[in-house]
Every structure is written in structure tokens, then in C-alpha cells.
Amino acid sequence: MAIHSDDQAGALGHFTAVIDAMRDRRPYPAVAYCLAGRTLALMNLGRVSEAAEDGRRSLAAARELGCPAGEAAALAVLSLAAVHAGDSGGAVQLVRQAGQITGDIPGWVARMRSACLTIALTAAGDLAAARHAGVAGLGGSRAAGDQGALAESLIRMAMLDLRAARAEDAAACLREALQIADRADMPLAVDNALNCCGYLCAGTGRDLEAVTVWAAADAFWKGFAGAPAQARRRHEALREARRALGPARTRAAEDRGAAMSRATAAEYALMLTLRTGRRPRRPARQRSAPGNGNWSPWSPRALPTRRSPRSCTSASAPSAPT
């Protein structure tokens, strides 16, 4: 609960309390699971080397116990640590090992394994395989009614759609993810969706909105850069958007985003998903000042048209009305 509520320090404390209480006793599955959970919390705090060490300890404890579910969970989180360390090939190998483990694997571990496979394959540049894994994970999350996993699966699919230049499909996925995150009160999913929305805006020529929504995401992420390849792509896209806007408009957009509450930022991002047509960039001398005739996502023109965009989730069960 603490991880999904974006209280990573609190999550770290809870996991550590269990691990410390069991320190002088025979290992139990709870220790392996808590070490895996602490790996996630440490990665979210940007402490990647410590996260990898806990992941290895989780794997050792699970193997000592003969706990296949714990072993699969440990390998999955170790693959994430490898992605964050820039070793995408090692990440794919680790999560493939997790996929070979059979036995009594709980649904939540299977969904974690599927998510990590999608992330690792995306980092490795195998986008076709990543999409196949992502669709399978999306269907599994929807069938299980796992709202947290479903929101994150939709965000991953949106990122893959953007890499394939399918802006409308990406917007549909992102819109559903934001609606789920709002209903289920999942701040971490909102933050990830805000980051994805920045890519959506940058990819459709909406530089002002991209800078604004990324500034809002940064205010909540508090400097967490993510995996190296992702951080580089984001830096390049943000640099291009800032160059197109110029210093004054960039500062205004960054100030506006940084001042938003998470709820306001989520509502702003949701509005941005309603219009995905590319806005052509004009030479700097022809651009008008902010608020002087520029299209705004808050204007009536941002309202959805009667034709809804094709859903990116057509391969899975239909979603409930939102």
C-alpha cells in the first residue's frame, strides 16, 4: 500500500521491520517477499545498487526455502534493477528465467513477472516482443481486476504505442490509466502517467504542454531519473521542446507545472489525452505569447469528438464504462 501510495520511505521501513524481526530465525517466504518488495522501494528511491543487493538476497532466501513463487518474484525485481543499471540484456535473461519457473505461482507474481518482461524487452529495443508481453499482461490484469497492475500495464502500452507513432492509441491507454489511478487513489500510477503524457505531447508537437506536464511530474518524482535509456530519451525530447519554446515560455511552463497539485496535474493530463493531432511547430518569430491565441487544452475545442479513438486494449476483455 505504501509503494502504490508513493510513500517509498514508509514502504522501506515496513519491509525492513519484517526482515529485521526474522533475522535470527530460519528463513520464511515472508522474508524473500519482503526483500523483493524492498528492492522495488529502493529502486523508486534511486538507490539501485542497494536494490540489486536486496534482490540477490531475496533470490538466495527463496532458493534455500524451495519457494518457486519467491524465486520468480526475486528474479523479476532483479531484472528491473538490471534495467535501471543499464544492463537491458541481463534484464531480459533474468526475467526469462523467472518465466521458466513452474509450480504454485500466485497471480500477483505472474502479473509482476509479465510487467518486468515488458519493461526489459522495451529497454532492450525488442518492441514487437514487448508489445506481445504487454498485451498478455494487460489481459491478465484486467481479468484479475487488479487495478494497480492494470493502470501500470496501460501506461506501458501507451509508451509502446508512442514508440510506434500511434498517438491516438497511446492517448486511449493513457486516458484509461489516469481514470483508474484517480478512482483507486494511486499516486505512483498518476506520476508515471504524467511522465507518459509528456512524451505524448512532445510527440504531437505540443511543446508548451510537454514542458508543463513534465515539470509537474518532476515535482512529485523529486529528481528520480528512471532507467538510463529512458532518462536520455526524456532529456532529448525535453531539450527539443525547450528549444522550440524559448527561455521565457519554457520558464512560464515549468513554473505552471511545478505549482500544480497532483490532482490538478492529473486532470490536466486527462484533458491533454482528448486531443492528439500534431500541432506544427512554427518559427520562433511567428509564435504568439502564451495565452495570446494559442490552443489550450482547457478550451472547448479540447472536448472529445463523437468518434472515439480505437482502444489499445482490443486484444483483451472489454473494459467497464468509466
pLDDT (tens place) for every residue of the chain, 322 residues total: 888 778 889 999 999 999 999 887 776 889 999 999 999 999 888 898 999 999 999 999 999 999 999 999 999 999 999 999 889 999 999 999 999 998 889 999 999 999 999 999 999 999 999 999 999 999 999 999 999 999 999 999 999 999 999 999 999 999 999 999 999 889 989 999 999 999 999 999 999 999 999 999 999 876 555 677 788 889 999 999 999 999 999 999 999 999 999 999 999 999 999 976 665 554 443 333 333 333 222 222 222 333 334 444 433 333 444 3
Q: Are residues 65 and 135 in the same domain?
A: yes
Residue closest to 52 by CA, chosen among 72, 17, 82: 82
Looking at residue 222, its pLDDT comes to: 65
Q: Could you tell me if residue 35 is inside a domain?
A: yes
All three cell numbers of 50, joined, read 542497494
Q: Are residues 69 and 122 in the same domain?
A: yes
Domain boundary among the residues 81, 116, 145 is at 145
Q: Are residues 124 and 40 in the same domain?
A: yes
Here the CATH number for the domain that contains residue 130 is 1.25.40.10
**Measured distance CA(278)–CA(266) in Å, rounded:** 21
Q: Are residues 209 and 131 in the same domain?
A: no
**Whole-angstrom distance between the N-terminal and C-terminal Cα of the chain?**
24
Q: Could you tell me if residue 224 is inside a domain?
A: yes
Neighbouring CB atoms inside 10 A of 291's CB total 8
Q: Are residues 108 and 175 in the same domain?
A: no
Contact call for residues 69 and 91 (beta carbons, < 8 A): no
Looking at residue 25, its pLDDT comes to: 75
Q: Could you tell me if residue 229 is inside a domain?
A: yes
User: 205: part of which helix (H) or strand (E)?
Assistant: none
Q: Could you tell me if residue 311 is inside a domain?
A: no
Q: Which region holds residue 206: left if phi is over 0, alpha if psi is between -120 and 50, else beta?
A: beta
Looking at residue 223, its pLDDT comes to: 53
Contact call for residues 130 and 108 (beta carbons, < 8 A): no
Looking at residue 177, its pLDDT comes to: 97
**Measured distance CA(274)–CA(303) in Å, rounded:** 7
Neighbouring CB atoms inside 10 A of 139's CB total 17
Q: Which residues neighbour 274 within 8 Å (Cβ) at sequence distance 6 or greater?
A: 171, 175, 297, 302, 303, 304
Q: Could you tell me if residue 275 is inside a domain?
A: yes
Looking at residue 36, its pLDDT comes to: 95
For the whole prediction, is pTM greater than 0.85?
Answer: no
Q: Are residues 178 and 135 in the same domain?
A: no
How many distinct structural domains can be found in the chain?
A: 2
Q: Could you tell me if residue 158 is inside a domain?
A: no
Looking at residue 4, its pLDDT comes to: 78
Q: Which region holds residue 58: left if phi is over 0, alpha if psi is between -120 and 50, else beta?
A: alpha
- Domain carrying residue 135: 1-145
Q: Are residues 193 and 138 in the same domain?
A: no
Looking at residue 27, its pLDDT comes to: 67
Q: Are residues 301 and 189 in the same domain?
A: yes
User: 281: part of which helix (H) or strand (E)?
Assistant: none
Q: Are residues 140 and 196 in the same domain?
A: no
All three cell numbers of 167, joined, read 498517438
**Measured distance CA(300)–CA(219) in Å, rounded:** 28
User: 146: part of which helix (H) or strand (E)?
Assistant: none
Domain boundary among the residues 145, 177, 198 is at 145
Q: Are residues 45 and 116 in the same domain?
A: yes
All three cell numbers of 17, joined, read 521491520
Q: Could you tell me if residue 314 is inside a domain?
A: no
Q: Are residues 181 and 268 in the same domain?
A: yes
Looking up cell 469528438 gives 305
Q: Are residues 129 and 171 in the same domain?
A: no
Contact call for residues 226 and 275 (beta carbons, < 8 A): no
Looking at residue 3, its pLDDT comes to: 84
Domain boundary among the residues 81, 110, 145 is at 145
All three cell numbers of 75, joined, read 528474479
Q: Could you tell me if residue 287 is inside a domain?
A: yes
